[in-house]
A and B are shown apart, each in its own frame.
Chain A
Amino acid sequence: MPEIRIENLRKAYGEHAVIEGLNLEMADGEFTVLVGPSGCGKSTTLRMIAGLESCSGGAILIDGRDVTHLEPKERGLAMVFQDYALYPHMNVAKNMSFALRLARYPAAEIDKRVREVARTLDLTPYLDRKPGELSGGQRQRVAMGRALVRDAGTFLFDEPLSNLDAKLRGHMRAELALMSRRIRKNMIYVTHDQVEAMTLGDRIVVMRHGKIMQAGSPEELYRRPANRFVAGFIGSPTMNFLKADLVAEGDRVVAVGQGFRFPFAAERSAALRSFVGRAVDVGIRPSGFIASEAPDALQLPVILSEYLGAQSIIISELGGARIAIEVNAPQPLTVGGTRGFEVAADGIHLFDSKTENAL
């Protein structure tokens, strides 16, 4: 039974619609990540689920109950805000127990829960401190703690890690992943960072201009992006796109572009036959290039090499476009000259140039 269902959700400010007919189901105990560039409507969607933002149309159902017009507190949610939203005048213990105190839990029960959560988050020494006396990472943990103490059915996260520095963010990401494994609640997490989306989500919902571009597991999105936008958004470094035309050569279909031709195997050729003659974007991930000494390998110039330690990213050029190639190389590569590369057949994604949909 789906825990949270969103039906035909709409949000408009005057004439301007920011969310247009959103449909989404989130199974019980699932970690869903809403991801997309800024302004795609992901935060607005989350805030509508929370009840902080009114809906212009459609419905939100939690456990089959229509909560579209209920107050936030009647929805049984906990939320972690981007700027933590701690109460500056209350100490850590008071911050964490605020909801329980409002709900008139017995003092002993409140104390027990706060101490338990504080222990798991390493906050015990700071229970008497005010938020202003804590570091960014500690405040972040207090915000998590405040959500955890409530034992809510659903947890909402609005870019909770984006105010932390890179190192701490990596650390907190791992902590969050561990926590979500342990407590197995419904989690809805909004981020613009595809790395967070990939590492945390059971399911990722990629949004753009208030619409869902694709929803699926991280692997599905990475291996079979439904369109050019998802292909370009998921994966780091980003996918390379090359202009090409689909041409039939005997019983094979070939993608022909400026300076390259990628023939497809019989099975895929059959599937692509109806698209022959169309202009397409060929998508190849930087990791899709394989170094090759073969005589018919692509000879690609090394314009720049970014040495990362275990790998290097080569900036090169193909079909008139800048491309990035990821190679395993323990030593920095010399710039200049060319290197031979092949592309594995399953590393080639095709997108219709007009509709941007995957072929």
Chain B
Amino acid sequence: MNASTANRLTPYLFLAPAGVILLGALIYPIGYVIYASFLDWNPSQRIGEAAFVGLKNYKKLLGDGAFRESLWVTLKFAAVVVSAEMVLGVGLALLLDRKMRGMSILRTLFILPMMIAPIVVGLMWRYMYHPTIGIFNRTLVSLGFEPVPWLSDANWAFAAVVIADIWQWTPFIFILSLAALQSLPRSALEAARIDGATGWQTILYIKLPLMLPVLIVTMLLRLIDAFKVLEVILVMTNGGPGLATEILSLRINRTASEFRALGEAAAMSNILLMVLMSLTLAMFLYTKAMEARARAMRSQNDEEA
């Protein structure tokens, strides 16, 4: 091997360990799941012993009412919690974006829920929602209201898990929105004041549009997370009553461990993966398109200059 070939290959030599880890940690498991989704496979078999059934698992899922219900609950859950968290998180950030005594302590307090382990969050809320000894119902009863069947009524149970998720994840959006707000160009906000914008108009026409790129990424991250939520709901309702709170990851878990249908569970995972991938891809393409437009305008500008 001559010197120039060696030089050319050196970078790949250094990249190789990272490449191996990537293959082992990322590509292999995903490939494994994709392959498994084409099998009729139960946990007592080794993967090699499972029968290849092609797209049968996927076909079965599309016709399965329980799966469709679960997918619908997941979509509904993600849409509701992410919308509510975005409104609350951005709203809080707009309110608290000011110099105030004790601001840093307040900010730390705000992000605490995010740092608690999801299992603990689930347990905490389960006790608070307890029909007789929970804080909510005791308060309601002491104020003379009827107790609410928080976790035993389908509609209330869905609301209950939504509330818990909002409590835990609004701080995430708050903290990122606040960072975005504080990095906005001060002079543009001052220019808006000179131009006669009121506080609301500044938020609507200047602050929110300028925060938009950060907000979109934040929303995407939250959406991906909301589609995969498991522990809190597992502990609080275990998907019930009925299928009211059985989000997809819970159903995947149950299909694999209770129904012992690993191939079907893998197919479900892949469908969830495809939903998330298409979301991310749409985002990615949108950003690319915006960048390309800006670049085209700039180069056209340079030619004229």
A contacts, CB < 8 Å to B? 50-52, 71-73, 77-79, 81-89, 98-99, 102-103, 125-126, 129-130, 132-135, 146, 150
B contact residues around A82 at 8 Å (CB): 187
- Given contacts A71-B193, A73-B196, A132 and B294 within 8 Å (CB-CB): yes
| Bound form: Cα–Cα A125–B187 in Å | 26
A85 touches B187 (CB 8 A): yes
B6 at the interface (CB under 8 A from A): no
Contact residues on B (Cβ < 8 Å of other chain), bracket: 20 to 34
CB-contact partner of B301 in A83, A84, A87, A129, under 8 A: A129
B301 touches A135 (CB 8 A): yes
Q: Is B225 in the interface zone, CB < 8 Å from A?
A: no
Known: A72-B193, A102-B201, A103-B196. 9 other contacts (CB 8 A): A72-B194, A72-B196, A85-B188, A86-B191, A87-B191, A87-B210, A88-B188, A98-B197, A135-B305
Given A81-B187, A85-B191, A88-B188, is A129 in contact with B196 using a C-beta cutoff of 8 Å?
A: no
Is the CB–CB distance between A52 and B190 below 8 Å?
A: yes
With A129-B301, A130-B294, A133-B294 as contacts: A83 and B187 at CB distance below 8 Å: yes
B88 to chain A, nearest CB (A): 24
Q: Is B206 an interface residue (CB 8 A)?
A: yes
Shortest Cβ distance from A88 into B: residue? B210
B102 contacts A by Cβ under 8 Å = no
Q: Which 4 A-B pairs have the closest CB atoms?
A: A85-B187, A73-B196, A99-B195, A85-B191
When chains A and B are docked, how far (Å) is the Cα of A73 from the Cα of B188? 15
B197 adjacent to A102 (CB under 8 Å)? yes
> B304 within 8 Å of A by Cβ?
yes
Q: Which residues of A contact B1 (CB under 8 A)?
A: none
B60 at the interface (CB under 8 A from A): no
CA distance A129 to B206 in the complex (A): 17
Assembled-state Cα–Cα distance A221/B180 (Å): 47
Q: How far is the CB of A111 from chain B (nearest CB, A)?
A: 18
Near A by CB (< 8 A), chain B positions 178-202 give 185, 187-188, 190-197, 201
**Among the listed B201, B209, B297, which residue makes an inter-chain contact with A89, where contact means beta carbons less than 8 Å apart?**
B209
Whether A73 contacts B194 by the Cβ 8 Å rule is yes
CB of B84, distance to nearest CB on chain A (Å): 26
Instruction: Give chain B's interface secondary structure class.
Output: helix
Task: Kindly identify, within residues 184 to 231 of chain B, every residue whose CB is under 8 Å from any CB belonging to chain A.
Answer: 185, 187-188, 190-197, 201, 205-206, 209-210, 212
- Once A102-B201, A130-B294 are accepted as A-B contacts, the answer to whether A78 and B194 lie under 8 Å apart by CB is yes
B298 CB-CB contact with A under 8 Å: yes
> B194's contact among A79, A103, A129, A133, by CB below 8 Å, is which?
A79
**A102 interface neighbour in B195, B297, B301, Cβ under 8 Å:** B195
Distance between Cα atoms of A82 and B185 in the complex (Å): 12
Q: How far is the CA of A82 from the CA of B191 in the complex (A)?
A: 11
Q: A80: nearest residue on chain B (CB-CB)?
A: B191
Looking at the assembled complex, report how far the CB atom of A249 sits from the nearest CB atom of chain B, in whole angstroms. Answer: 60
Q: Closest A residue to B193 by CB, please name it.
A: A72
Q: How far is the CB of A156 from chain B (nearest CB, A)?
A: 8
Inter-chain CA distance A238–B234, complex, in Å, is: 79
Q: Please name the residue on chain A nearest to B300 by beta carbon.
A: A133
A82 CA / B188 CA spacing, docked (Å): 11
A89 to B195 CA separation, bound complex (whole angstroms): 16
- Residues of B with C-beta under 8 A to A77: 194
A98/B192 in contact, CB under 8 A: yes
Cβ of A50 and Cβ of B194 under 8 Å apart? yes
- Complex: chain B residue closest to A128, CB-CB: B297
Contacts of A99 in B (CB 8 A): 194-196
Contact of A125 among B197, B209, B294, B304 (CB under 8 A): B304
Is the CB–CB distance between B194 and A87 below 8 Å? no
Known: A85-B187, A85-B188, A87-B188. A133 touches B193 (CB 8 A): no
Q: How far is the CB of A104 from chain B (nearest CB, A)?
A: 10
